[in-house]
Structure 1
Amino acid sequence: MSARFEELDWSETPMGEISLRRRREPTVGIDVFEVKLGDEFLMSSLFTVAETALAHLGLAELSGDELDVVVGGLGLGYTAQAVLEDPAVRSLVVVEALDAVIEWHRRDLIPDTVGLASDPRTSLHSGDFFAMCETGAGFVPTSPGRLFDAVLLDVDHTPRHVLHPSHARFYTPDGLRGLVRHLRPGGVFAMWSDGPPDAGFSEVLAQVFARSTAHTVSFANPLTGGSSASTVYVAS
């Protein structure tokens, strides 16, 4: 049996203290990996259904092979790992604001996503996803203007509950138009959000994209004995 609690890594960042922790969860008898930023819990390996659904729902809108994909926000890596499991994916660019998170994956600290960083299709970039959307250079500094088939985003809690005030502009029509310039014709934008669909944000998506859907993704919650739900927005 493993120790009940271990802090695997801790760093001071411009957004606050971030830590990766492993603890034994007695309700299910497994080790759980959690990320905490300041006083907020950002993510847990106990709840990954919506993160993988983000990849599955976004990529399901695309046809053909040799797809080039961007994931904004690395976290525990479940969305990126689900992207790599799709045989149609040719390349994956992950943009992560916090260097410490990238190092967790280079050191393979999260058992479920071991090998993510070393996959030859993957490139991990340290940077501000939202700032990159605003520039013509895009998401790969060495390949300015490169276009992608899909951009999948999992950073903020919701469009209204953001981790940093500078992110708020992205969730406006002008902010999303900045993203569109980095998509190929027919490309897809998909985004995870905590809680139920936000009608206001769906209206914003409708102003920018030809079609969009808010998918409710439900999953079992062993901590409450019931279920929880997140939203995955998909627009094309």
Structure 2
Amino acid sequence: MSTRFEEIDWRETPIGTISLRRRLDPALQVEVHEVKLDDEFLMSSLFTVAEIELARLGLAEPAGTDFDVVVGGLGLGYTARAVLEDSRVRSLIAVEALGEVIEWHRRDLLPLASRVTSDPRTRLVHGDFFAMVSSGSGFDAEAPGRRFHAILVDIDHTPRQVLHSSHAAFYEPAGLRRLAEHLHPGGVFALWSDDPPDEDFLAALGQVFASAEAHVVTFPNPYTAGDAANTVYVARTDSPHSVTG
């Protein structure tokens, strides 16, 4: 890039001002894509290890092949791309509340955009993930009530620090039970969080799912010369039979 900073897009949305920018980090000498909501950083291409691990850990749990997967929160596309790199995945629905983010992918403004949008297994859906969880029709308008083998979510900062107050109920047992209804037997729910493991949330998962655990994902932070950490929760429904098909 010829400049050290470029604001690629800037929009007013119902939840605030969202912007996409690209910059050359002078210390690291790498190009970084960032998304901000008002003055808050939502995503950075500099820190993607845990987003990729969300897909890897979530897809490590189901048995069989021909997985149908939902990703809640398209973001910069790192989780979606990691899902598509698994040859067992048959289909991917990526649900994104901000139409602007979907447009960035379709206009190829992000590093992985074309690798996500060009894959015939991918469908990008503009909608409210949490409303879809609570609805009878679910995530696929073309097949109401369709179930999935894995639902991977990276939307809020943590189960306690949500982007909108309406999301909070999802992280309670009743909300998690509604989510589990969209999974096949033996299906997996995985969630990214910016905080260390939360024992209360693990307990809520344990009320709904057959198994639940928290994986701490560490990665280098070039600004501190140390490590940073995120958490990926992985929970699985009961599996009396294979979840393929």
Q: TM-score, normalised by structure 2?
A: 0.95
Asked if 1 retains the 8 angstrom alpha-carbon contact of 2:70 and 2:148, the reply is: yes
Aligned ranges 1:156-175 → 2 under 5 Å: 156-175=156-175
Q: Distance in 2 between matches of 1:47 and 1:80?
A: 15
Q: After superposition, what is the alpha-carbon deviation per residue over 1:201-228, rounded to whole angstroms, capped at 9, x for unaligned? A: 1111011101011000000000111110
Q: Distance in 1 between matches of 2:200 and 2:169?
A: 14
Question: Which residue is 2:107 aligned to?
Answer: 107
How far did residue 5 of structure 1 move? 0.4
Identity of aligned pairs, percent? 66
Question: Which residue is 2:126 aligned to?
Answer: 126
Question: Which residue is 1:205 aligned to?
Answer: 205
Asked if 1 retains the 8 angstrom alpha-carbon contact of 2:83 and 2:89, the reply is: yes
Question: Which residue is 2:192 aligned to?
Answer: 192
Asked if 1 retains the 8 angstrom alpha-carbon contact of 2:81 and 2:115, the reply is: no
Task: Tell me if 1:218 matches 2:218.
Answer: yes
Asked if 2 retains the 8 angstrom alpha-carbon contact of 1:2 and 1:24, the reply is: no
Q: Distance in 1 between matches of 2:34 and 2:196?
A: 23
* One-letter amino acid matched to 1:100: E
Asked if 2 retains the 8 angstrom alpha-carbon contact of 1:97 and 1:127, the reply is: yes
Question: Which residue is 1:21 aligned to?
Answer: 21
Q: TM-score, normalised by structure 1?
A: 0.98
4+ residue stretches of structure 1 with deviation over 3 A? none
Q: Distance in 2 between matches of 1:122 and 1:112?
A: 13
Residue ranges of structure 2 left out of the alignment (5+ in a row)? 237-245
How far did residue 2 of structure 1 move? 3.1
Which moved further from structure 2: 104-113 or 180-189?
104-113
How far did residue 118 of structure 1 move? 2.2
SS in 2 for 1:92: strand
Over the aligned positions, Cα root-mean-square deviation in angstroms equals 0.9
SS in 2 for 1:169: helix
Q: Distance in 1 between matches of 2:115 and 2:221?
A: 28
SS in 2 for 1:224: coil
Question: Which residue is 1:228 aligned to?
Answer: 228
Task: Tell me if 1:33 matches 2:30.
Answer: no
Q: Distance in 2 between matches of 1:118 and 1:102?
A: 13
Question: Which residue is 2:56 aligned to?
Answer: 56
How far did residue 4 of structure 1 move? 0.5
* One-letter amino acid matched to 1:149: H
Q: After superposition, what is the alpha-carbon deviation per residue over 1:63-103, rounded to whole angstroms, capped at 9, x for unaligned? A: 21110000000000000000000000000001000000000
* One-letter amino acid matched to 1:187: G
How far did residue 45 of structure 1 move? 0.2
Task: Tell me if 1:154 matches 2:154.
Answer: yes
